[in-house]
Structures are given as structure tokens and as C-alpha cells.
Amino acid sequence: MSKHKGKTSKKTAKKKTAKKSASKKKVSLSQKKVSLTKSQFSPTALVPNAVVLKASEAERQKLENIPKWQDAFANTVSQNPALLVEGSDEFDETFYLVDFRREHVGTTGLMIVNAVSGEIEEIAGLRPGSQDRALLKLYRPEEIPGYVDGKEVLMNPSRRVVLQKEHVTVLKTLFWIPCDQSSEPFLPFYLVDNVVDSSKDRVHVRVDGQIFPTITRGGKGL
């Protein structure tokens, strides 16, 4: 989110130790590739979407009465469902990203809700008096096939792939780990498979629309 002007944020609860250590961990090899495959996603014991939206709405109502948060959360509506995000085996934290929008404007506020405890952990939104109307353009899952259609991705120095919406599958659960392509959890990734005949290519589409062939750690972050 550091690339989006007019943002203000806060943490509302103590983060897990695993998250702190992951964000500070030094990687000795520059541009080290990250494995995005968890053994399996485990939907059991997660807070239901309805509970997440109810808790985030209660928090929104408090924030809209606080001057510094009014531009971000006053007269906004959360998008349903909240986006479920998981880490890798190394960064084992699951959370919901709740997207608040104002009609005809776009996303003005975001909340991160712990998917196990249901606690609201982080909040981000427009700064008071910001000239920006929206915090960012955040793509919902149903928008991804149409958004990536026709876009060319350099998978490696000698191979390019043109994504086609009729061949694209968007995984239900998003992914995030502190990495060169996203330094904070407000910008997780959709995992998108482009399958043509027997060939499958996976790309990583950040929620703001940036497309990456791989996720790396150890190089210069965005």
C-alpha cells in the first residue's frame, strides 16, 4: 500500500510472532523464489464470512465518527464476501481482507481480520483531506478473468504467455507473504492458472492488478 497516496493505517491487535519473524527474516540469496504451495487449505475452524462482515461493520461505524477515518469509512459498504488470504508453509497465518467502498468511487478503506480469532488486526484508509477519491482499485475475484484477458506475461527470458479468460482459473483462496512484490498484507495475490491443452502456467495477480510470473524475496521490494 505504500505506493498509494493518501493512506493512513493502524494496528488494532497484537500480531502473531510468526508474522513478525517472517517480515524481518533476512534472505541470503538475492531474488530467492518462494514456494506458494501449502500442503492444503484448511477451511475448518475459520470464522464464517458473515461473522467477519458483522465485526468489520461494527468497527466501521465507530471509525466513521472519528475525524481521521471519516474519509475512509463514512458512508461505505463492505464487499461480500470478504477475501480469504493464506500464507505459505513458512508464513502460516490466515486472514480476511475486507474491502470498503463508496458508490461510484471505489475502495476507500480496508480491514484485516484474523480468520481464526475474528479479531480486527489492521486498518488502512484514505487520509483526511486526501485529493485521491479512492485508496486503490481493488479487483474482486469475478473481475480477474476479464481483467487478465489478452495480457502478456514474460514467464522467463525466452517465453511469453498471453492470458485468455476462457482458459483462466482463479483459485478461491488468495495468497500473501512478505515479498519483493508486496511488502504488506493489504496487497495479497490471486493465484491464476492459465491452462491451454496440457500446458499450465500460474501467474500471481496482486489485488490492485499488477501481474507477476513469480514471487521472490531478497531483492528490492515494491
38-84 pLDDT tens trace: 444 454 589 999 999 999 999 999 999 999 999 999 999 999 999 99
Q: Does 177 score more than 70 pLDDT?
A: yes
Nearest to 27 by CA among 221, 222, 213: 221
11 and 118 housed in the same domain: yes
196 has which bridge partners?
199
166 and 66 housed in the same domain: no
Indicate the length of the chain as a whole number.
Answer: 222
Helix intervals (H) in 48-165: 49-63, 67-73, 144-148
Secondary structure of residue 72 in the 3-state scheme: helix
Tell me which range, 18-22, 23-27, 97-101, is most confidently predicted by mean pLDDT: 97-101
Question: For residue 53, what is its C-alpha cell?
Answer: 462482515
Q: Decide if 28 is inside a domain.
A: no
Q: Decide if 203 is inside a domain.
A: yes
Q: Does 26 score more than 50 pLDDT?
A: no
197 and 164 housed in the same domain: yes
111 and 149 housed in the same domain: no
For residue 131, the 8-state DSSP code is S
122 and 190 housed in the same domain: no
For residue 49, what are the domain limits?
Answer: 1-17+44-136
Q: Does 191 score more than 90 pLDDT?
A: yes
Does the predicted model carry a pTM greater than 0.85? no
Helix intervals (H) in 48-182: 49-63, 67-73, 144-148
86 and 107 housed in the same domain: yes
The Cα–Cα gap between 10 and 76 comes to: 19
Give me the percent of the chain exceeding a pLDDT of 70: 76
131 and 145 housed in the same domain: no
Q: Decide if 37 is inside a domain.
A: no
Q: What is the pLDDT of residues 121-131, one digit of tens each?
A: 999 999 998 88
The Cα–Cα gap between 133 and 83 comes to: 22
174 has which bridge partners?
85
Q: How many domains does the chain have?
A: 2
The Cα–Cα gap between 32 and 217 comes to: 5
Residue 108 near residue 101 (C-beta atoms within 8 A): yes
120 and 187 housed in the same domain: no
Nearest to 96 by CA among 106, 107, 81: 81
Q: Decide if 38 is inside a domain.
A: no
Q: Decide if 97 is inside a domain.
A: yes
12 and 118 housed in the same domain: yes
51 and 104 housed in the same domain: yes
Secondary structure of residue 55 in the 3-state scheme: helix
Q: What is the pLDDT of residues 80-96, one digit of tens each?
A: 999 999 986 666 689 99
